[in-house]
Copies of this chain bind each other. A is one copy, B any other.
Amino acid sequence: MAVSVAHEGIRSALTEPQLSKLEAASELRTLKAGELLFSEGDKATHSFAVLSGAVKLTKTHPDGESRIIGLMFEGDLLCGTCGPLRTCSAEAGTDLELCAIPVEATSRLAGEAPKLERVFFQAALAELEARHDWMLLLRGSTAFQRVAGFFRLLIKRACPRGSGGRQGYPEPVHLTLPLSRAEIASFLDVTLETVSRQLTLMKKAGLIEFSSMRQVTVPDIWLLAAHAESSFQGGSWTSMPQSPYPARMAERPAA
């Protein structure tokens, strides 16, 4: 009980006393990588603000396998008001630190702070957007493009906060993969062997570097993206042109 509700949107939607009330009801929760936060079909009793780490959202496929349908990072809000029941499972992708906010506490405040509801609404909308991006990434893409897209997504969502930097990353970015190869594969809907191959390919091409299994450095994400765009895939690679940057690219900094 009693923890600072470190979510920008929520804080700014409430007055001091309201915030205190909410914080009094909330609690800090920590999980180790792999631990389950909640399961599909559970009653949605809490919302969660991610303080650190990455949350893995999964859903069970008709065939029984579970697939990763989304990831949430520091600063994201996993809203609990999405109907009475959870529609997917959540699991700690890495060690996790989050703030659990009981839905009843939020609904108690809903009357006097209509803006609060809006925050959750926005969170749901943001998730929707993320899914759209994701669907776009998966569609009509080669394995190479998917893996490249995975890096872009990772950098976009997990990085900015880590390095105090702006969002023009022409300089090397390094990041910690929140997922194992198998999990990345599930996320990208390819086999883990394919992920491994593409990673190796990218490594050989100098597009990425590994300092350890989960520590990657991306010298230039836009170079990587450029290769992904040009529909590249496995083949003769050792030498490749310096490749001019693509003409247009979503979220590309203004240069």
Q: Give A contacts to B, CB under 8 Å.
A: 59, 61-63, 65, 67, 69, 81-83, 87-88, 110-111, 114, 117-118, 120-122, 124-125, 127-129, 131-132, 134-136, 138-140, 189, 229, 231, 249-250
Contacts and interface: CB of A to CB of B under 8 A. Distances in A.
A136 B58 CA distance: 10
A72 to B, nearest CB: 13
Given A62-B229, A121-B121, A131-B128, A189 B140 contact: yes
A13 to B, nearest CB: 14
A61 B149 CA distance: 12
B83 A125 contact: yes
Nearest to A249: B62
A61 B132 contact: no
A88 B129 CA distance: 9
Contacts of A82: 125, 128
Nearest to A133: B59
A185 B227 CA distance: 26
Given A69-B136, A124-B121, A124-B124, A129 B189 contact: no
Nearest to A191: B140
A40 B131 CA distance: 16
A146 B7 CA distance: 39
